Amino acid sequence: MASKEIFVPDLGDFKDVAVIEVLVKPGDSVQVDAPLLTLETEKATMDVPSTDAGVIEKVHVAKGTKVSSGTLIATLQLAAGAAAPASSVPATATPSAPKPAPPATPVAPAASAKPAEPATPAVPTATVVPAASAAASAVPGVTEQGFARAHAGPSVRRFARELGVDLGRVRGTGQKGRVTDADVKAFVKSLMVPGAGPAVAGGAGGGALPKVNVPDFAQFGPIDIKPLGRVQRISGARLHASWVNLPHVTQFDEADVTELEETRRALKAKADSAGIKLTTLAFIVRACVKALQQFPLFNSSIDASGENLVYKKYIHIGFAADTPNGLLVPVIRDADRKDIYEIARALGELSARARSGKLAGAEMQGGSFTISSLGGIGGTAFTPIINAPEVAILGVSRASMKAVYRDDAFVPRMILPLSLSYDHRVIDGANGARFTSYLAKILGDAPGLTEAVP
């Protein structure tokens, strides 16, 4: 029987990815798409599937080692009559040396045109500069952020990388939105037409920005250099893109959560007996669900053309989780269908997986509104950056006891600071104030937050 070597597929810009589990051993029979090993980055875990059916002859990696695109995983004895498809081994996966990725920002093909100043990779720009030739526009550079979120196969990823196309900006027309070779070609062609806008997966982008002048800090005294973690690099690019491309406005407000805290403490024993940690954040998530149902504009997004507003009929709430590897945003799906206990359970389970590095990529996708809570750490207010393509994010600081003037007297009340950042293209100040006022009212209605979901 014929043997075949199986390699790690295209991982984009990820290198030296940890092998946290080897799922097969010599002599095991595997089918097509059966998982062979599990890899872990700071952002997610992923299984590497078998490209063919057969019997494992030899495993070339071990738990605890690190691999990159093109690393040899295993040797497979093919099943009788099976033939290795031409595209089963990724084109970038060669056992000696993986083919390096092309430059992040390719030069415009027109020989007479002066190359544009390279844009900061974190800024997904969709600007097209017309010229005398139809080929005067440069293709946007490849970014790790774009490739990480793209739904495309290894051959399409390689094709896009060769052309210097950021897959995250290409709208897929294949099954379930999968990006095809034709989609990549259409994207490049759209850039080659003067004045035409590309079919991108995000909203309109901003132009190139002047770079910050960074001096040689060693000339001023001793320094120590430590590389940014992968999560910091990925999230940093997304935050930068959001801040540059979305006009942020932050609305500050306060909510009286005195009764909410009393209710939470009263229900704590019941929740503990069910293995649920009932936190204030669970009540905030429930309150945000009610506010989003009242103000669906805050649960919308601008579409790829930048000319339409997409109103989502689902409510998936993301929340910022502080982990040893960096900030992650797990998503509670269908939060509007969960009661306070189900939300609390989801918060606990997702937070635990985020801290242990077991959070799957799908568990960080599809959010329609995000909450960033610093209540456990401190602070009185802050300006959270919108988690694009969402249009709003709620920041929550630490609640504190304050003297509030009520009924002709000062009384002690537990006050929770709220910071709502929103995309001013979609939401104006009046709507922002209405949202925070309604949210504060809901947070003051503890019985309404604990009632069963209809």
Instruction: For 272, list phi and psi in degrees, rounded to 5.
Output: -60, -40
Q: Which pLDDT does position 81 carry in this prediction? A: 62
- Rg of the chain over Cα atoms, rounded to whole angstroms, equals 25
Q: Which pLDDT does position 209 carry in this prediction? A: 66
Q: Which pLDDT does position 336 carry in this prediction? A: 97
Q: Which pLDDT does position 30 carry in this prediction? A: 87
| Euclidean distance between CA atoms 266 and 379, whole angstroms | 27
Q: Which pLDDT does position 392 carry in this prediction? A: 97
Q: Is 240 designated active site?
A: no
| Euclidean distance between CA atoms 229 and 3, whole angstroms | 39
Q: Which pLDDT does position 376 carry in this prediction? A: 84
Q: Are 36 and 74 spatial neighbours (Cβ–Cβ below 8 Å)?
A: yes
Spatial strand order in the sheet of 35-40: 45-49, 35-40, 17-22, 66-67
Q: Which pLDDT does position 186 carry in this prediction? A: 82
Q: Which pLDDT does position 184 carry in this prediction? A: 84
* DSSP-assigned letter for residue 202: S
Find, among 67, 75, 10, the residue nearest to 41 by Cα: 67
Cα 271 from chain centroid?
31
**Alpha helix segments (H runs only) across 208-318:** 230-245, 258-273, 280-294
Q: Is the peptide bond before 215 cis (omega within 30 degrees of 0)?
A: no
Helix, coil or strand: residue 182: helix
Q: Which pLDDT does position 83 carry in this prediction? A: 53
Cα 196 from chain centroid?
28
pTM value is 0.58
| Euclidean distance between CA atoms 346 and 337, whole angstroms | 12
Which is the catalytic residue, given 60, 151, 248, 424? Answer: 424
Q: Are 332 and 360 spatial neighbours (Cβ–Cβ below 8 Å)?
A: no
Find, among 144, 121, 124, 122, the residue nearest to 42 by Cα: 144
Q: Give every CB contact of residue 200 below 8 A, 6+ residues apart in sequence.
A: 124, 126, 169, 170, 171, 187, 304
Q: Which pLDDT does position 142 carry in this prediction? A: 56
Q: Which pLDDT does position 420 carry in this prediction? A: 98
Q: Which pLDDT does position 114 carry in this prediction? A: 38
Q: Which pLDDT does position 99 carry in this prediction? A: 41
Q: Which pLDDT does position 106 carry in this prediction? A: 41
H-run or E-run covering 346: helix 340-356
**Based on the number of CB atoms within 10 Å of its own CB, is 446 exposed (0-12), middle (13-18) or buried (19 or more)?**
buried
What does the chain come to in residues?
A: 454
pLDDT 10s per residue in the chain (454 long)? 688 999 988 877 678 888 888 889 999 998 888 889 888 765 566 778 888 888 999 999 998 899 988 899 999 888 776 554 443 444 333 333 344 444 444 433 333 333 333 333 333 333 333 333 333 344 455 555 566 667 777 677 778 877 778 777 888 887 667 788 888 888 887 766 544 444 444 444 444 567 788 888 999 999 999 888 878 887 888 888 899 889 999 999 999 999 999 999 999 999 999 999 999 999 999 999 999 999 999 999 999 888 999 999 999 999 999 888 888 999 999 999 999 999 999 999 999 999 988 888 889 999 999 999 998 898 999 999 999 999 999 999 999 999 999 889 999 999 999 999 999 999 999 999 999 999 999 999 999 999 988 7
What percentage of the chain's residues is helix, strand, coil (to nearest 5)? 30, 20, 50
